[in-house]
Amino acid sequence: MSTIPDNCKFATSHEWVRIDEDGIATVGISDHAQDALGDIVFVDLPEVGATIHAKDEVAVVESVKAASDVYSPVSGEIVEINEELLDAPETVNSVPYDGGWFFKIRLEDAAELDELLDAEAYAEHCEGE
Amino acid sequence: MTNRTSLYQHHLDAGAKMVDFSGWEMPINYGSQIEEHTQVRTAAGVFDVSHMTVVDVSGVDAEAYLQRLLANDVARLDEIGRALYSGMLNDDGGVIDDLIVYRMSFGYRLVVNCATRVKDLRWMALQTTGYAVSVEERPGLGILAIHGPESIERVCQILNDCGREGESEAAAIRALGNFRGVELGDWFVARTGYTGEKGLEVILPAEQAPQLWEALLTGGVKPIGLGARDTLRLEAGMNLYGHDMDETVSPLSANMGFSIAWEPSKRDFVGRAALIAQRAELEAGRLPILTGIVLEERGVLREGQTLTCRDADGIEIGQGVVTSGTFSPTLKHSIALARVPTYTASCDVDLRSKATPVRMVKPNFVRFGKKVFE
């Protein structure tokens, strides 16, 4: 299992968020999450332009094992989605923190990031599950 | 208490993710279930199914006992080595378990499900009353299933590495027809599979399983977890006990009609009277049936999902339920078995609260690596 990147923040529901530039954040699911789900066969993504709130269900991941909701760790407007996942959902299994990202969002309130876990706290959270 | 097969350490060494399977710690996958699935469809893979229960039946009344115990008729096994699939029913015609029975030189060998082991053994013991028969569980035996288009050749090639009589045993194995087995010393090798591919089951002393496992892996056969075993059997349209049928379900509602030997009519097997009544119900359209369904758009059919069913006139006639569902790695879309009202002609599935049309097909999706339904 790969290490948990320390430039990301994490939700307890296993999504990661990384600030890129200018208040735009990238969101995906953690390595721990993809490992627990097993082979991912479909990913449903939100629509570009949608305004969402933190903890909203914004995407669905279907694996060989189960369907699972993905929650947005932060509020804002969806500005880009990773359309490659529609044809190659297995990318989430192979590179969850890189090519396996789900969507980019224009942050509404950067203070929401303070409520999320850092890499160390997230590692502890996974241990405790 | 958790049970482990003689290959437990070998599974860990191969990178297995272990899960509890009815009290056994078994490999669910060794990394990717889909890659393992494809390996069996295109080459050869090995499953450790030593958790399954082997029961040997012998004695002068062995045949008569099994003719009473099983819905299929062991009298059909006219030669040593032949195999039969059967349900073992209760008096109400519900399915206690489904199993394979082999005719052996000493009598008969049954392989039953591990999840139903305790109740199966109790039921089998109960039914021995009045029969001169010995029913003996064989916990010292392990089972390796080697499946895939290359599987039989791979096994034949490594027999010498396992200290076997390589040439003569390979000839005996290559000569096996489907649903036939052969006793080779302390091994029993049979072509009775659960994947829809060519393959062998090797039933052997558990302490010999590691040597066979290692020889197979060295020979290029890949280890396959129980996750892929489930997607392979579902693509082949085969039932899984506890999901597609159980004691509350008639075998006639579970595609098991082919395994009921109605003739000779004087054979009084357990559940026969109830089945005759169920057959009349089925003919009157009052007994649900198990169908195949496919979803060719995005989404995955899962066990427990509800179906809204309509007859040929488009009139709603009731609800159905998905009994087994998965993403088919071979077809790249979802497939399922579902129990629906008799005259269902079309249906929608409730897919995450959205009514989605699905197509009804014969419950047989993939054989020998190829799509088989229209």
CB-closest option in B34, B298, B352 to A64: B34
Give residue-wise pLDDT tens across range B100-120: 999 999 999 999 999 999 999
Out of B32, B34, B300, whose CB is closest to A67?
A: B300
Is B19 an interface residue toward A (CB < 8 Å)?
Answer: no
Q: Which residues of A touch B300 (CB under 8 A)?
A: 41-42, 62, 67
What local confidence, expressed as pLDDT, does residue A129 receive? 78
pLDDT exceeds cutoff 90 at B374? no
pLDDT of A2 > 90? The answer is: no
Average pLDDT over residues B126-154: 98
Delineate the domains of chain A, giving CATH numbers in brackets.
9-124 (2.40.50.100)
Omega of the bond prior to A96 within 30 degrees of 0, cis? no
Q: How close is the nearest chain B Cα to the Cα of A22, in Å?
A: 35
- Contact criterion met (CB < 8 Å) for B29 and A38: yes
Chain centre distance of CA B276: 25
d(C-alpha B94, C-alpha A27), whole Å:
50
Amino acid at B215: A
B300–A contact, CB cutoff 8 A = yes
Q: What's the CA gap between B60 and B332, in Å, rounded? A: 51
Q: What is the pLDDT of residue B1?
A: 67
User: What are the chain B neighbours of A93 within 8 Å (beta carbons)?
Assistant: 32
pLDDT at B267: 97
Q: Which domains does chain B have, with CATH numbers?
A: 8-50+140-235 (3.30.1360.120), 53-137 (3.30.70.1400), 288-371 (2.40.30.110)
Nearest-CA residue of chain B relative to A66? B302
pLDDT computed for residue B43 by the predictor: 98
A2-15 average pLDDT score: 91
A70-95: average pLDDT: 96
- Interface contact flag, B33 A42, Cβ < 8 Å: no
Nearest to B192 by CA among B172, B176, B206: B176
Among A35, A34, A125, A23, residue whose Cα is nearest residue A74: A23
Q: How far is B102 from chain A (nearest CA, A)?
A: 34
Q: Encode pLDDT of B327-358 as tens digits.
A: 999 999 999 999 999 999 999 999 988 999 99
A64–B299 C-beta distance less than 8 A: no
Nearest residue, CB atoms, A64 vs list B298, B299, B327: B327
For A30-43, what is each residue's pLDDT tens digit? 999 999 999 999 99
Tens of pLDDT, residues B198-228: 999 999 999 999 999 999 999 999 999 999 9
Question: Do the chains contact at B298 and A64, CB–CB below 8 Å?
Answer: no
- Count CB atoms within 10 A of the CB of residue B184: 17
Band of residue A1 on the pLDDT scale cut at 50, 70, 90: very low
